[in-house]
């Protein structure tokens, strides 16, 4: 079975809400506050990827920890930046090892 890209939008909002154990309204709130942007089908239906599900879980945990929406957005942005820097660092190390 081929590996599926974690960015592929697969899940409708009802399934995504079940996967993260949150009400659909919370997913809509998170989207309206810019915490994530799910893909849209041709008909306008939200489609969530595995990456979106992971982000929703992280946001839900932060909310459960008592962090407000603005704080959640900042933490998620910093986590994204950190992951990007780790990727760049790994690429640079690999390039140095090839020398």
pLDDT bucket at 1, cuts 50 / 70 / 90? low
Percent of the chain scoring above 70 in pLDDT: 98
The angle subtended at Cα 76 by Cα 27 and Cα 11, nearest 5°, is: 35
Mean pLDDT for all residues in the chain: 95
Boundaries of every domain in the chain: 13-97
Category of 8 on φ-ψ map: left (φ > 0), alpha (ψ -120 to 50) or beta: beta
CB 72 within 8 A of CB 61: no
- CATH architecture of structural domain 13-97: Orthogonal Bundle (1.10)
The pLDDT value recorded for residue 53 is: 98
pLDDT bucket at 15, cuts 50 / 70 / 90? very high
Global pTM reads 0.86
């Amino acid at each position: 079975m081929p590996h599926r890209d974690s960015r592929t939008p697969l899940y409708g909002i009802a399934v995504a809400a079940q996967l993260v154990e949150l009400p659909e309204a919370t997913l809509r709130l998170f989207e309206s506050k810019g915490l994530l942007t799910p893909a849209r089908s041709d008909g306008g239906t939200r489609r969530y990827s595995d990456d979106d599900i992971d982000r929703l879980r992280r946001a839900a945990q932060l909310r459960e920890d008592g962090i407000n929406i603005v704080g959640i957005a900042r933490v998620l942005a910093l986590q994204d930046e950190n992951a990007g820097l780790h990727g760049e660092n790994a690429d640079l190390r690999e390039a140095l090892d090839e020398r």
